[in-house]
Structure 1
Amino acid sequence: MGYEPSTRDRIISAASKLFYSDGIRAVSVDAVAEKAGLTKRTLYYHFRSKDDLIAAYLDARDQPNIALFKRWFSEAEGGLAAQVRAIFYNLAKAARHPKWRGCGFLRTSSELAGMPGHPAIKIGAAHKKKFEDWLRGTFEAEGIPDGVALARQVLLLLDGSFAVVQLHRDPSYMETAGDAAFALVSAALDAS
């Protein structure tokens, strides 16, 4: 007997596919309900508004994305700098897939740029902060004295590469950013 997803999970799954593929503004609640195979009324029973659904979409991406980055890091061969670079190289591989649309957190925040108090903006900011904090802790555990600055530099390279790869549709920019992160981490290790 297989796992039967809850109605709420079906809605979030449908919203995730549509929002990631087409963007949050382009997708109606009607389209999400149809994709989930239920009525709009049922959707609104589980989510008070489209804004709540958008927040749930991002919240559902949070832990799986962080876990994936940590897995790529831990599976990489070589030292700390190579492990950090592996995150970028694995993202570049993912970006070569025709359905890749970039970072769902960044795309959503750009669509909601005029709404800084939106729950999805807060979830996106918290997600990026979790990644940064994980990097900081990892760097400090390796004896790098200013793990805060280095983690921010790597995060900026990562998010910048998401933006440029989306503009140019060229994942090699992400690999270039990974090489830059490798150089920054290597220099920080040499200085510690």
Structure 2
Amino acid sequence: MAKTTNEPPVRERLIDSAGALFYAEGIRAISADRIIAAVGTTKATFYRHFPTKDDLVLAYLEVRAELERSGVTAAAAASDPQEALRGVVGVLADTSCQPGFRGCPFINAGAEYADAAHPVRRLVAEQRTWWTTFFRTLAERLGVPSGAAADSAAAQILMLRDGALVAGYLDDPNAIQTQLSKAITAVVTSARADR
């Protein structure tokens, strides 16, 4: 008779445990043995699911990417563009105020993998491209003309987001919502004026 349990599948537990450790202490600082011990599994099981530690890093980042994307997409779903902006800024501010916040997992991973051709860095680049597209669409909804103006606004907003997440880790996370909202509004206002 099959054993029933409420415990998630081992692959999911490996990703969850590794993700918590990677985020708290850094990817390079965590060994496969430490993850195996945290999950309470065997090396054979670990390597059956993830032939290399980098494969596990990619799986962790893919999960984080989906969480980020679904969270901000839902926050931006309001039909009123200003309300959508407030929702997105709120999600970013709330994230940075969470206990144990250690910055953007993609910026952190990018810093640990110097080779731009490495699969981890390519996944980081894909996530940044997603954010740029997301912010371009948001800027256009806020009245920034399509094309170069929206592209420039999106790049600036992405930089503001990056800075806000660093500030959430190093400075006062409670100030992020107000400051980020003001900064994005200034970028959008400037981009609309440059028509």
Q: TM-score of the superposition, structure 2-length normalised? A: 0.83
What is the CA distance between 1:170 and its match in structure 2?
A: 3.9
Higher relative contact order (CA 8 A, sep 6+): 1
Deviation at 1:87, TM superposition (A): 2.2
Provide the residue aligned with 1:117 in structure 2.
Answer: 117
Q: Find runs of 4+ consecutive structure 1 residues off by over 3 angstroms.
A: 1-5, 138-143, 186-192
Q: 2:168 aligned to 165, 169, 172, which one?
A: 165
* One of 28, 33, 48 as aligned partner of 2:36: 33
Give the secondary structure class of the aligned counterpart of 1:115. Answer: coil
State the alpha-carbon separation in 2 of the partners of residues 39 and 129 from structure 1.
37
Distance 1:37 1:161 in 2: 37
Does residue 103 of the first structure (1) align with residue 104 of the second (2)?
A: yes
The aligned counterpart of 1:131 is 131
1:62 Cα deviation from its structure 2 partner: 0.8
Q: Pick closer, same or farther for the CA change 1:191–1:117 going to 2, 3 Å.
A: closer
1:26 is paired with a residue of what secondary structure? coil
Worse overlay, 159-168 or 51-60:
159-168
* Cα shift at 1:104: 0.6
Counterpart secondary structure, 1:140: helix
SS at match of 1:74: coil
Identity across matched positions, percent: 30
The runs of 5 or more residues in structure 1 that have no matched partner are: none
Matching residue of 1:152:
155
Deviation for aligned residue 1:81: 4.0
Correspondence for 1:8: 11
Q: 1:30 to 1:2 in 2, by over 3 A?
A: closer
| Per-residue deviation, 1:174 | 5.3
Which residue of 2 is the match for residue 176 of structure 1? Answer: 179
In 1, Cα distance between equivalents of 2:14 and 2:83: 39
Number of residue pairs matched? 189
Specify whether residues 169 and 111 from structure 1 end up closer, same or farther in structure 2 by C-alpha distance, changes over 3 A only: farther
Calculate the aligned-residue CA RMSD, in Å. Answer: 2.6
| Contact 2:75–2:88, Cα closer than 8 Å, also in 1 | yes
Distance 1:2 1:71, change over 3 A: farther
